[in-house]
Amino acid sequence: MKRSVRAGSAGGGARLVVAAVVGMVPLLAACDSSSAGGTEESSPAVASPVSATGSAAAGPADDRELQQRLAGFDPEIEGFARPDSGDEPTETASEAFGSAIAVVEPARCNALEQAVGLGTDEDLRDAANDLVRYPGFFVPGGVMPAEPPFDPSIGLVTRVFGDEALAASLYTTLLEADCTSYTMTQDLGVHDRVLEQTVDDVVEVHLDGLEEPTVRVVYGSGRAYGVDEDGRIEEGDFRDSWSEYVHVDGPFVIMVETATIDDEEAVVAQIIADYLAHMNGA
């Protein structure tokens, strides 16, 4: 299953994974809810900053040329295309990550869920004026399957940080995460959206052609479903496995989500290289 690029996590940002399954981004564990929550921690974590202190500092969103450059990133991925060709505008970090609140259980998994979606604890504070964009959800030939699973597929999240140290901290957060399974519940008003996922591995990899290392998060399984006002579970989707690659190069960060694609690392490396070249004006 796949969260599309916009159905992302409320705390870590709009990710791609589970999205396509329930809406359009990171999903889930095909385990029952007890496998992710349970006894490991008693207090769930809110997966989104809920309050801002002070006024937002100037950031990438104040640079019109940089904003246009990020908005213009439209990767060509051999064999893949977006189901629609509409423009995906840029957003500030506060817009991208501050509109919805999700609860992650166990609480310690909130850090991974947030970071893999390129979110940070500063998204409503000092980093509020960072730039974020979701370039789209890519499937073979641009034709979305009539029914899940929506694989093979590729999803992207891009961000320009005003603070390179904050960008680099994503690696530390991911590599030090102690999380093997979790449940994220998002309150959408008329119903809740629930994502359950298992995490098989978080590892640093070196992709061909890239100077900096990349962190790969491997999800083992996932499940996404809705719960209505009466507590009834609405039909959802399942997914066996997928990976999310986070790459940081100075202020420029990208997450590439992949599921069941051939030559996965080569494809991911090319997308990242194209993004960095585009953002550096090459």
Please report the pLDDT score of residue 100 as a whole number. Answer: 65
Distance CA 27, CA 6 (A): 12
Q: What is the pTM of this model?
A: 0.83
Q: From the CA atom positions of the chain, what is the Rg in Å?
A: 17
Residue 6 phi, psi dihedral angles, 5° rounding: -110, -15
pLDDT in tens, 115-150: 999 999 999 999 999 999 999 889 999 988 877 767
3-class DSSP state of 82: coil
Contacts of 51 by beta carbon, 8 Å cutoff, 6+ apart: 124
pLDDT tens per residue across span 197-255: 999 999 999 999 999 999 999 999 999 989 887 778 777 778 889 999 999 999 999 99
User: CB-hemisphere CA count at 13 Å for 22?
Assistant: 33
Mean pLDDT of 7-26: 36
| 8 A C-beta contact, residue 60 and residue 160 | yes
